[in-house]
Amino acid sequence: MEEHVKHVLGDQTIHGCFPKVGVGRLKGFVSTTTIFIFFFFLLAIAALLNWMDIVSLKQWKSTGITEDMIERGKPSADFRLVIVNGTAYVERYRMSYQTRDVFTIWGILQLLRLYPGKVPDLDLLFFCGDDTVIKKRNYKGRYAALAPPVFHYCGEKAALDIVFPDWTFWGWGEVNIKPWEETLRAIKKGNERIKWEKREPYAYWKGNSLVSRDRRLSFMKCNLSAKHDWNVRLYKQDWGQEIQGGFKHSKLEDQCTHRYKIYIEGVTWSVSEKYILACDSMTLMIQPKYYDFFSRSMVPMQHFWPIRRKNRCKHLKFAVEWGNNHPHMAEAIGKAGSKFIEEALTMRNVYDYMFHLLNEYSKLLKFKPTIPPNAQKLCSETTEQGLWKEFMVQSMVKSPSDKPPCALPPPFEPQAIQASLDAKENKTRQTKTWETEYWKKLKHKKH
């Protein structure tokens, strides 16, 4: 069993299983009371917490999960995964986008290789699309007991989707993004090319601007123009051209050249978040609506700078001005965000999250999982070709772990959760105050 470490959240002492993770503080800037929202990373796995009224497994805590619920959820799922006696079986309902389903299933197979015999029998549904599928509004009152449990890559306040790590941790062959461990190593090496103070003093973003008219297409208006300089430099990523050109201009390790990097959602959440945070640049996070399995663990002004959606061009300009006027603090925030990503998102921790989530889920099943008639047995050998095969080989678990999964910490008390939320809100509110004062002073100077 891994050694546990005591931490304090509000008035509560908790025992975490990430002894090597540095939360980080900015001397004279971040409160000396460490905000361990960070440990929600682990606690969320069992849905023992009600985080900002977001429900994960808690929805089924009182009713349990019946076979009828699974059947009812089939129209919302891309595949059904059943594990019986340590062997996985899959029943596919429809094609998912690209190979999201293939690499998600591959990731679960690696979990079985890492902890053989430890993953309990279970029966689950998985959706591989972008938007959430199980909306709370459809399961209120007497209909609450009818909600089907569906696993997905992201969640939101208005949905019941069970949040699971996305497929890119094992690779994204279509756009030449390697498995997470390989990609992180490359980004860390790329960080060393240009020291923070030597980087371009602007906010950088590169991505597909066409995936969301409301978010990204309108966001492009913040770019440098003859009329405005909002201190941002935005670049469109044409994946069609990149595929034809051999991905020469889309390497993530080549994109750590600016002091600030922007995270903005696409259709919903974006897998780009972890890559952006890993760059040592201060991340300017445009207020997200959706969350993945680790993002709620981060603290504003400790791991990133929060940006409000409305008037975001103006907010981005101020954030860059602030950072350039407080370079040591801005650099520290950037490095703390990267440190969090590097140490919290090890593949071992990702697998432990998966293990505990599936373990807690299995405890809610009110039926004994059996192999569906149309299900196919999964094997740990890959039949993919090209980059897909290469990425699977790279991400394959080579041997079983000699240690068990880390122990699940006890749940936070409600007052401890609220204290954490209040602390996050106070830090966000502080940036608003600074910005208001900044624009007032600028206005007075002009007069």
Question: Using one digit for the tens of pLDDT, what is the confidence trace for 83-106?
Answer: 999 999 999 999 999 999 999 999
Rounded Cα distance, 10 and 416, in Å? 5
Give the residue-averaged pLDDT of 101-127: 97
How many structural domains compose the chain?
Answer: 1
Closest to 166 (Cα-Cα) out of 105, 235, 247, 87: 105
Mean pLDDT estimate for the chain: 87
Q: Considering the domain boundaries, does residue 407 fall inside one?
A: no
Note the pLDDT of residue 382: 62
Predicted pLDDT at 26: 44
Residue 337 lies in a domain: no
Taking only the tens place, the pLDDT of each residue in 340-392 is: 999 889 999 999 989 999 999 999 999 999 999 999 999 877 666 778 899 99
Cα–Cα distance, 330 to 176 (Å, whole number): 31
Taking alpha carbons only, the member of 323, 353, 319 closest to residue 428 is 319
As a whole number, mean pLDDT of residues 69-75 equals 97
What mean pLDDT do residues 7-21 have? 44
Q: Is residue 138 part of a domain?
A: yes
Is 166 within a domain? yes
- Residue 253 counted as domain residue: no
- Where residue 212 falls among pLDDT bands split at 50, 70, 90? confident
Structure confidence at residue 444 (pLDDT): 76
Q: Which domain holds residue 89?
A: 50-172+351-395
Residue 420 in any domain: the answer is: no
Residue 296: the pLDDT is: 85
Q: Per-residue confidence at 17, pLDDT binned at 50, 70, 90?
A: low
Q: Is the pLDDT of residue 2 over 80?
A: no
Residue 112, domain member (yes or no): yes
Six token digits for residue 229: 């300089």
Confidence check: pLDDT of 37 > 50: no
Q: Is 102 inside a domain boundary?
A: yes
> pTM of the predicted model, to two decimals?
0.88
Higher pLDDT, 265 or 422: 265
pLDDT at 249: 85
**Dihedral of the alpha carbons of 339, 343, 344, 346, in degrees to the nearest 10:** 130
Q: Is pLDDT at 39 greater than 70 in this prediction? A: no
In degrees and rounded to multiples of 5, residue 124 shows phi and psi of -140, 160
Asked whether the predicted pLDDT for residue 133 surpasses 60, the reply is yes
How distant, in Å, are the alpha carbons of 10, 80, 139, 211, 322 from that of 400? Answer: 38, 25, 41, 40, 48
Contact residues for 280 (Cβ-Cβ < 8 A; gap 6+): 191, 196, 256, 331, 334, 335, 338
